[in-house]
């Protein structure tokens, strides 16, 4: 079953359209990664799905219901979006930031409930930032700050998580920790995760499906084995890629690559 569907949407900014006549379905309970060159429309698509950026044309459906019909708090209980380069008020503490994820559940003039605090404590724990929960964001490293924002998104406890470059600013160890966490949440809770990502090997390892985008269009959608091929690397990134099978995950592994002009025609697999 599809949990999120876009039908022929157009979206962009003052400079013009970024995505045009784009149609896509996202399967319930799957991890889907968006890949493609910079400027191809990954962030624009995520913002459109989250109703942060209204589409100029077309329709988006969440659970077969037009997304425009959801009240703000109602939508925030179903779907959360972690934008790229989130900043906000750097003077607040980590725990205060994470507590913002509980806003959709609060009634007017009511503070945090016991259930809210349990979700906050869980999000701090699973992102390994309990030890810095009383520190202001301004005092944190880029990686620590990114984990705090991810913890806020997790505390919101939605069925759909949209993440724009969630591993930005993280070192390799913390990249794996965050993606392991997202994969565990997906498997244990059945949450649908849609994220943009630049690292092809991480996309291969942690995704059920991969969407390849270029120039505002989706050119390919399928499993890592179907998308991460020399043919699609040439089409999407204009590089000649050497792909092998990872001996641990048995998924495609990008071993090396070169500019297409230097790599020759190669095979067509």
pLDDT, tens only, 151-206:
999 999 999 999 999 888 788 988 888 898 899 889 988 999 999 999 999 999 99
- Kindly compute the dihedral angle of the four CA atoms of residues 2, 186, 78, 38, in this order, to the nearest 10 degrees: -80
The pair of structure tokens assigned to 86 is 């989130």
pLDDT score recorded for residue 187: 92
The pair of structure tokens assigned to 200 is 């092809």
**DSSP letters for 40-106:** SSHHHHHHHHTTSS--SEEEEEETTEEGGGS-HHHHHTTEEEE-TT----TTSBHHHHHHGGGGGGP
Average pLDDT of the residues in 43-70 = 94
pLDDT score recorded for residue 173: 86
DSSP state of 135: S
pLDDT score recorded for residue 266: 47
Cβ–Cβ < 8 Å for 265, 259:
no
Which uninterrupted H or E stretch holds 222?
strand 217-222
pLDDT score recorded for residue 269: 53
What is the C-alpha to C-alpha distance for residues 59 and 67, in angstroms, rounded to an integer?
Answer: 8
What is the C-alpha to C-alpha distance for residues 102 and 170, in angstroms, rounded to an integer?
Answer: 25
Q: Which sign, positive or negative, has the C-alpha torsion 33, 35, 235, 253?
A: negative
C-beta atoms surrounding 201 within 10 Å: 17
Q: Which residues make beta-bridge pairs with 244?
A: 253
pLDDT score recorded for residue 85: 62
pLDDT score recorded for residue 87: 65
pLDDT score recorded for residue 262: 60
Residues 6+ apart with CB under 8 A from 4: 25, 26, 49, 60, 61, 62, 79, 160, 192, 194
CA distances from 149 to 30, 88, 95, 104, 143 (A): 22, 10, 10, 16, 10
Gyration radius from the chain CA atoms: 19
pLDDT score recorded for residue 19: 94
Average pLDDT, the chain: 91
pLDDT score recorded for residue 208: 96
pTM of the prediction? 0.89
Checking if the pLDDT of 23 tops 60, the result is yes
pLDDT score recorded for residue 246: 93
């Amino acid at each position: 079953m599809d949990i999120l569907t876009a039908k022929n949407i157009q979206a962009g900014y003052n400079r013009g359209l970024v995505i045009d006549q784009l149609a896509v379905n996202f399967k319930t309970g799957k991890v889907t990664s968006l890949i493609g060159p910079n400027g191809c429309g990954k962030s624009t698509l995520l913002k459109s799905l989250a109703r942060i950026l209204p589409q100029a044309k077309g329709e988006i459906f969440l659970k077969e219901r037009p997304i425009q019909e959801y009240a703000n708090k109602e939508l925030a209980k179903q779907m959360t979006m972690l934008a790229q380069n989130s900043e906000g008020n750097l003077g607040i503490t980590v725990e205060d930031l994470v507590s913002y994820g509980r806003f959709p559940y609060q009634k007017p003039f009511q503070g945090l409930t016991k259930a809210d605090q349990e979700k906050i404590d869980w999000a701090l724990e699973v992102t390994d930032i309990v030890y810095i929960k009383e520190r202001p964001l301004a005092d944190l490293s880029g990686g620590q700050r990114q984990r705090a924002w991810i913890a806020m998104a997790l505390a919101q406890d939605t069925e759909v998580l949209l993440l724009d470059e969630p591993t930005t600013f993280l070192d390799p160890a913390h990249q794996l920790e965050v993606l392991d966490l997202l994969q565990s949440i997906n498997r244990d809770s059945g949450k649908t995760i849609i994220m943009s990502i630049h690292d092809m090997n991480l996309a291969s390892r942690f995704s059920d499906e991969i969407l390849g985008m270029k120039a505002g269009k989706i050119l390919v959608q399928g499993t890592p084995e179907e998308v991460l091929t020399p043919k699609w690397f040439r089409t999407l990134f204009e590089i000649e890629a050497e792909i092998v099978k990872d001996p641990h995950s048995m998924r495609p592994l990008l071993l090396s690559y070169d500019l297409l002009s230097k790599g020759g025609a190669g095979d067509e697999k």
